[in-house]
Amino acid sequence: MRPYVVSLTLPNLEVLWSTEVDPATCFGIHPTVDGLALISHGELEIARVALSGEVLWSAGGADIFSEGLTVTDTEVHVGDFNHDRYVFDVETGRQI
């Protein structure tokens, strides 16, 4: 796994953009409910990425985000290695 999100064209698979979203690893990418951005589930950071590749916000926690991540229309829910739960505002990244 790599700490980047990459956008490719179809069907040629040409790279449109590549953005580093975490210092270590990116476990997964989740679309926002409105489809206007992506939420990156990184090992150390959760990030909101515009469809242009710009990181709009990034937020960390006390430990590795090893638990599942869920995106609602207003919140991002994720857990860390210590089973602590975090809720981030989907628009601002502010911890709720």
Instruction: Record the tokens describing residue 27, joined without a space.
Output: 């476990």
Per the structure, the count of domains in the chain is 1
Q: Taking residues 48-60, what's their average pLDDT?
A: 97
Q: The domain spanning residue 56 has which CATH number?
A: 2.40.128.630
Which of 75, 5, 93, 15 shows the shortest CA–CA distance to 42? 5
Residue 95 in any domain: the answer is no
Using CA atoms, how far apart are residues 71 and 88, in angstroms rounded to an integer?
10
Residue 96 in any domain: the answer is no
Domain hosting residue 26, numbered range: 4-89
pLDDT score recorded for residue 2 = 74
How do residues 31-49 score in pLDDT, each as one tens digit?
A: 999 999 999 999 999 999 9
* Cβ contact 32:49 at 8 Å: no
3-state secondary structure of 90: coil
Residue 19 in any domain: the answer is yes
How do residues 6-32 score in pLDDT, each as one tens digit?
A: 999 999 999 999 999 999 999 999 999
pLDDT at 1 over 70: no
